[in-house]
Amino acid sequence: MESVKKTRKPTRYESLVDELLEYLDSVFRKYLVCPQTLTLHEVFYYNSVSDVRRHINASPRAAIQTALNNPYHYLQGEHTPADTEGILATMPDVCIAYKLHMECGRLINLYDWLQVIIWTFIFSHWLHTIVAFVSVPRACTCLCRAATTL
């Protein structure tokens, strides 16, 4: 069986749209020049969409892994260690936990986790103690100077 397609007559709106599109197409073809035919068009126009998309779309996974493996890549300071392969006490806690996870995978030793937590607590407590110890004599000398001037 053959299916017979019925052709319908376009409406007035469809015919007006077609006429307008034909007119615009003729005007654009007459007055606009294809930029790829111009000399040195490569300076102003770029037609590789895949390269542009690759540069515009960020890859956060690579940046996060770099930051967790080597935090000193982003945290540049005067005390940046040369060796960042191992686990250092000066690394942020998240980086230490990530490195332990990368070393052990799914079988992370709880003892190592507790040591990290204890070391972080002791180090921060020790740091606060030193800061308080250093700032107490300065405060005492300031008070003594203020008392002697009165």
Query: What pLDDT, in 10s, does the model give residues 80-139?
Result: 666 667 777 778 778 877 887 787 767 766 777 777 777 777 776 666 665 555 554 554
Q: What is the pTM of this model?
A: 0.39
Lowest-confidence pick of 27-31, 88-92, 143-147: 143-147
Q: What single-letter DSSP state applies at residue 39? A: T
Residue 104 neighbours by CB under 8 Å, 6+ apart: 112
In this prediction, residue 140 carries a pLDDT of 44
> Please, how many CA atoms are within 13 Å of residue 117, restricted to the half-sphere of its CB?
6
The count of residues in the chain is: 150
Query: What percentage of the chain reaches a pLDDT higher than 90?
Result: 15
In this prediction, residue 147 carries a pLDDT of 41
Q: Give the sign of the dihedral formed by CA 21, CA 22, CA 27, CA 28.
A: positive
